[in-house]
Amino acid sequence: MRRFTIVVHGGAGALASEERGRAAAAGCLEAARIGHRILAEGGSALEAVQAACVALEDNPLFNAGTGSCLNEEGRIEMDAAIMEGTSRRAGGVAVITGVRNPILVARRVLDRGRHVLLAGEGAERFARAEGFAPYPPSLLLTEAALDRWRREREGTLPPRPGTVGAVAIDREGRVAAATSTGGTSGKAPGRVGDSPIPGAGLYADDAAGAVSATGHGETILRAVLSRYVCDRMAAGLPAQQAVEEGIRELGRLGGEGGAIAVDPAGRAGIASNTPFMSWAVIEADGRESSGHRCRIP
Ligand code: ASP
């Protein structure tokens, strides 16, 4: 039996306040506990990261699902993806609205296996055909997100982090990754970030480990950050060193962000080059840790 572990993040960026930082770390821990329970009962890494991600999407504190940020027209367009490391199947949705949990639609894309990524109206139509109930965007919109959007437009507030992600390894040594986001606040309509793109916003390979990224999506895409970190783990680096190398690479491209990882030995890695990143880890023996800072030099 392998060591099973789950690692969760709630986004990297500027720190709004210590209070918010602590609340985000607590939200991550709560989600990690949900995923850990699944792993402890013998469930798969894929089920664990999905369940953790649903909890984070439903928590209005985070920029994913309920609480998603708004684009420049004041609309919510979400990106999400999920990947498993045994067959390296992946499913994602981009620029989707009108669903409560984009990660569940992404999972359905993975299960159907016909495509890897569906975007926009087509993604929403797929969700309906698969029986996902229409969810009015007004229910995804929180007062806090709207207020933030107004103040960001006035230039009185820096964009707030809050993309969510989870990576896990289960008792069988299978790994999985999930990432979900409302994207960047004030983005152009139709913009797709790194989060739903395998290799960029997430990656999973049983032979290497699993990764979920957060931060400036355009740079993460160019760095192919999650695959970059996975390649380092495949070469034998422990998860922590691999994410640190990945974040340095992101920095070389001028990008800000963070990443979490788990390697085949069940070791966790968390790193960012931003002042804030919320995270939580729960290991096989139930040992919990969480925080809202993990900056690397
Ligand atoms: N990476 C996300 C995006 O660019 C945003 C974030 O992680 O804060 O859509």
The best mutation among 148, 187, 212, 216 to test binding of ligand 1, ranked by most ligand atoms within 8 Å of the C-beta, falls on 216
Query: How far, in Å, CA of 289 to CA of 32, rounded?
Result: 10
Task: Write the pLDDT tens digit of every residue in 53-94.
Answer: 999 999 999 999 999 999 999 999 999 999 999 999 999 999
Ligand 1 touching residue 163 (CB < 6 A): yes
In this prediction, the residues of the chain whose per-residue pLDDT falls under 70 are 1-2, 156-159, 297
Q: 270-273 — which CB contacts under 8 Å span 24+ positions?
A: 270/7, 270/9, 270/240, 270/243, 270/294, 271/240, 271/243, 271/244, 271/246, 271/247, 271/296, 272/12, 272/214, 272/215, 272/247, 272/296, 273/247, 273/248
User: What are the beta bridge partners of residue 48?
Assistant: none
Which residues fall within 8 angstroms of residue 235, CB to CB, at 6 or more apart? Answer: none
Ligand 1 touching residue 183 (CB < 6 A): yes
Query: How far, in Å, CA of 214 to CA of 24, rounded?
Result: 15
Task: Write the pLDDT tens digit of every residue in 112-122.
Answer: 999 999 999 99
Ligand 1 touching residue 212 (CB < 6 A): no
Query: How far, in Å, CA of 6 to CA of 274, rounded?
Result: 22
pLDDT for residue 1: 56
0.95 surpassed by pTM: yes
pLDDT for residue 145: 85
Ligand 1 touching residue 11 (CB < 6 A): yes
Domain ranges of the chain: 5-291
pLDDT for residue 17: 87
* Nearest residue to 210 via CA among 252, 173, 247, 256: 173
Which one of 5, 163, 181, 184 is the catalytic residue?
A: 163
Rounded distance from Cα 145 to ligand 1 centre (Å): 15
Rounded distance from Cα 165 to ligand 1 centre (Å): 11
Rounded distance from Cα 180 to ligand 1 centre (Å): 9
pLDDT for residue 103: 98
Ligand 1 touching residue 241 (CB < 6 A): no
SS (H, E, C) the chain: CCCCEEEEEEEEECCCCHHHHHHHHHHHHHHHHHHHHHHHCCCCHHHHHHHHHHHHHHCCCCCCCCCCCCCCCCCCCEEEEEEECCCCCEEEEEEECCCCCHHHHHHHHHHHCCCCEEEHHHHHHHHHHCCCCCCCHHHHCCHHHHHHHHHHHHCCCCCCCCCEEEEEECCCCCEEEEEEECCCCCCCCCCCCCCCCECCCEEEECCCEEEEEEECHHHHHHHCHHHHHHHHHHCCCCHHHHHHHHHHHHHHCCCCEEEEEECCCCCEEEEECCCEEEEEEECCCCCEEEECCCECC
pLDDT for residue 164: 98
Query: How far, in Å, CA of 6 to CA of 289, rounded?
Result: 11
Rounded distance from Cα 64 to ligand 1 centre (Å): 10
pLDDT for residue 297: 57
163 is catalytic: yes
Strands 90-96 and 117-119: parallel
Ligand 1 touching residue 165 (CB < 6 A): no
Ligand 1 touching residue 182 (CB < 6 A): no
Rounded distance from Cα 193 to ligand 1 centre (Å): 6
The best mutation among 71, 181, 274 to test binding of ligand 1, ranked by most ligand atoms within 8 Å of the C-beta, falls on 181
CATH for 5-291?
3.60.20.30
